[in-house]
Amino acid sequence: RARDAGGNCYRFFSPAMNQRAHDRVILSSVLGTALASDRLRLVYQPQVSPHTGAIHGVEALARWRDPVRGDISPMRFIPLAEEAGLIQALGEWALRKACGQMAQWMADGIGIPSVSVNLSARHFREPGLPAMIGAILQETGIPPDRLMVEMTESTMIADLDSTIQAARAIRALGVGLSMDDFGTGFSTLANLVNLPLNEVKIDRSFVDGLGRVDESRLIVNAVIGIGRNLGMSIVAEGVETKEQLALLDELGCPVVQGFLISHPLEAERLPEWVHTWQQSYSTALAPLPAA
């Protein structure tokens, strides 16, 4: 940059870069306040069997609506939270909120078997994480198998040993462990074998190519085979079309998640969704003739 400016060595940052850095600092501090005052919320996206329609669980996804700036995407504020050192606080908030919500659904007799919470790779390197999860389970009183924790492989390589330790401790609590966005990171197969996973999520990019790109079908098929051989469940993410759904069912994928099934929903809307889904899924999905 300084070089581009034509030998003006004092200009390390262009005005545009300064502006962006400034925005980031402001936004980080606003995010800190939002977190402290509970101005973030979780929405929940259903996951179902493509074959029977049975509800597998929901994934909790963070949403931030700032009074001035409007909706800010997690694609933007999660990296911000990481930079600002807020990601542990955000993860703890999400775990407490999601487990509390699960306790409520259970008390109301709503048929949602589990809730998945996304945790940053950075969080897995915190020695206190498993104990904190244990404390939240106690606090909210939900059985551990009602909770699933999602990790992504893309950034965990930095300290794989401590990640594996944390993963084992979390599993020892009875909590499920899921590998998110599978296929987008590094040394993925080694991670699948070394981590005590219950579930692998096939990244949306591969689901997106189903029926259009030959390689996508190959990759999806391979991941389903590997997952099954390792005794894991497989969730296909980002299912948007009936064609994708039918192909995934044909390939034996046990769980799907995507806009075709439902967009992420506000917590209060889940009971109504579950009710409607249970009434109608057999006719709505039915990619195969009933046995």
Scanning residues 40 to 99, which ones bind Mg ion (CB under 5 A)?
Answer: none
Q: How many residues bind Mg ion (CB under 5 A)?
A: 5
Token pair listed for 171: 């599993």
Among 118, 140, 178, 233, interactor with ligand C2E by CB under 6 A: 118
Task: Write the binding mask 18 to 47 for ligand C2E: x where contact by CB under 6 A, - elsewhere.
Answer: ---------------------------x--
- What sign does the CA torsion over 217, 220, 223, 224 have? negative
Neighbours of 171 (CB within 10 A): 18
Residue from 126, 180, 199, 249 that binds ligand C2E (CB under 6 A)?
A: 180
Contacting ligand C2E (CB under 6 A), which of 258, 267, 274, 277? 258
181 binds ligand C2E (CB under 6 A): yes
> What is the rounded distance in angstroms from the CA atom of residue 214 to the CA atom of residue 72?
35
Decide if residue 180 touches Mg ion (CB under 5 A). Answer: yes
What gap in Å lies between CA 217 and CA 147, rounded to an integer?
A: 30
Reference 113, options 58, 75, 53, 157; nearest CA is 58
Inter-residue contact 230 to 192 (CB < 8 Å) = yes
Q: Report the residue from 66, 240, 243, 250 that binds ligand C2E according to the rule CB under 6 A.
A: 240
* Contact with Mg ion (CB under 5 A) among 153, 181, 199, 249: 181
**208 near Mg ion, judged by CB under 5 A:** no
| One residue of 54, 61, 89, 246 binding ligand C2E per CB under 6 A | 61
Exposed, middle or buried, 49 (CB in 10 Å: 0-12/13-18/19+)?
A: middle
Residue 199 within binding range of Mg ion, rule CB under 5 A: no
Which partner from the list Mg ion, ligand C2E, none does 199 bind, CB cut-off 5 to 8 Å by kind? none
Closest to ligand C2E by CB, 238 vs 254, is 238
Site membership for ligand C2E, residue 264 (CB under 6 A): yes
Do strands 199-202 and 115-118 pair parallel, antiparallel, or not at all (unpaired)?
A: unpaired
Count other Cβ atoms within 10 Å, centred on residue 279.
10
Under the binding rule (CB under 5 A), the answer on residue 118 touching Mg ion is yes
Q: For residues 165 and 173, give the distance between their C-alpha atoms in angstroms, rounded to a whole number.
A: 13
Sign of CA dihedral 258, 259, 261, 264: positive
Question: Which of 11/63 has CB closer to ligand C2E?
Answer: 63
Element (H, E) at 43: strand 40-48
Q: Is 73 in the site for ligand C2E (CB under 6 A)?
A: yes
Give the Cα separation of 217 and 214 in Å (integer).
6
Structure-block tokens of residue 274: 């579950």
Calculate ∠ Cα 83-42-207, nearest 5°. 85
Closest CB 37 distance from Mg ion, rounded Å: 25
Q: Say if residues 72 and 66 touch (Cβ distance below 8 Å).
A: yes
**By CB under 5 A, is residue 233 in contact with Mg ion?**
no
Specify the length of the chain in residues. 291
Q: Taking CB under 6 A as the rule, does residue 153 contact ligand C2E? A: no
249 binds ligand C2E (CB under 6 A): no
Q: Determine if 244 is a binding residue for Mg ion (CB under 5 A).
A: no
By CB under 5 A, name the binding residues for Mg ion.
Answer: 118, 150, 180-181, 237
Which positions touch ligand C2E (CB under 6 A)?
A: 45, 61-62, 73-75, 78, 91, 94, 118-120, 180-181, 204, 237-240, 258-259, 264
